[in-house]
Structure 1
C-alpha cells in the first residue's frame, strides 16, 4: 500500500510530526512527503497534517482535504494554544468536516506546538496596556509551556499511533 505524507507547517512543528510519521513507516511504502499537491493523491493512504488556524486546520489543508476521495486518511496537527485533549478533539472535528465522506478515517493525532516569539511579545504588550485583557497571564503561561513542543514524548506518541495502523 502506497502512502503519502502531506502537511502544511508554518513554524516547523507539523513538519516535525510528518518526519516522525515517515520514520515510523517502511521507506518503500512512501510515495510522497511534502506540501499539498496532486501527486500525493496517487497513494492509497494519506497522512495529512496541519497547523491550527481559528480552531480548525489551516486553509491550505482544508482545500486539499476537499480533493481527497476514496482514501484511507490519518489526520495530524499541532496547536499553539492548549495542551488539552478536549480542545484537540474540537480542532480535529472541525478539520474532519473538510474531508469527503468517501474516505475512511484511520485515526488522528494532535499535540501542542511552539509559537513564534512575536506572539508572546504581543501578549506582554497586552498585559502592559491600560486596559489589559482578561486571562492574559494564562496566555503567557500557555506560550511558555508550548515552547518545548512537539517534544520527544509527543513524537513517540504519534509513532505509536502510526504503528497501530
Structure 2
C-alpha cells in the first residue's frame, strides 16, 4: 500500500497534525508528504488534512478531493471555533461530500486549533459594540481555549487515528 499525507494549513496547525500522522506510516511506503499537490495521487491511501474555513475545508482541498478516483481517503483537520465532537463531525461530513463515489472515505479526525491573534482583537472590538455581549464573550473564551491547540493530547489522538487507519486498510 502506498500512502500520501497532504495538507492545507493556513496557520500551521494542520501541518503539525500531518507531521504526526506521517510519523506513524511506514516510511518506505510514503510516496508524498506536503501541501496539496497532484503528486499525492500516486498513493492508494491518502490522508488529507485541512484547516476549517467557514465550516468546511479550503478551496484547494475541495478541488483536490473532487479530482481523486479509486483512492482510500482519511480526512483530518483543525478548527478554531467549536470544540465539540458534534461540530467536528458536521465539518467532516461536509468535507467528505467532496470525495468522489469511486473512492472510499475511511474515517476522519479533527481537533481544535489556535487562531491568529487578529481574530481575538476583532472579537474584543465586537464586545464593545455588540448587543449580545454574552455571545461575543463566549467567542473570546473559545479563542482562548483554542490557543492551546493542537496540544499533546491532540497529537496522541492523531497518532491513534493513523494507527487505526493503517490496521483497517491492510
Q: TM-score, normalised by structure 2?
A: 0.93
Report the CA distance between 1:131 and its aligned residue: 4.3
Post-superposition CA distance 1:88-113 (Å, at most 9, x none): 01100100111101111121100000
Q: Say whether 1:127 aligns with 2:134.
A: no
Cα separation, 2, equivalents of 1:33 and 1:130: 44
Any idea what SS the aligned residue of 1:98 has? coil
Give 1:164's aligned residue.
164
Q: Offset at 1:54?
A: 1.2
1:38 and 1:160 map into 2 onto residues whose CA distance is: 27
8 Å Cα contact 1:81/1:142 also seen in 2: yes
Aligned mates of 2:153, 2:130 — CA distance in 1: 40
- CA RMSD after TM alignment: 1.2
What's 2:151 paired with?
151
Equivalent position of 2:47 in the other structure: 47
- SS of equivalent to 2:52: strand
Is 1:110 matched up with 2:115?
no
Secondary structure of the residue that 1:25 maps to in structure 2?
A: coil
Return 5+ residue gaps in structure 2 as ranges.
Answer: 166-170
5+ unaligned residues in a row in structure 1: which ranges? none
Q: Name the CA distance, whole Å, in 2 between partners of 1:116 and 1:161.
A: 27
**Counterpart mapping for 1:2-151 below 5 A:** 2-129=2-129, 131=131, 135-151=135-151
Checking the alignment, whether the CA contact within 8 Å between 1:49 and 1:76 is kept in structure 2 is yes
SS in structure 2 of the partner of residue 5 of structure 1: strand
8 Å contact kept, 1:126–1:132: no
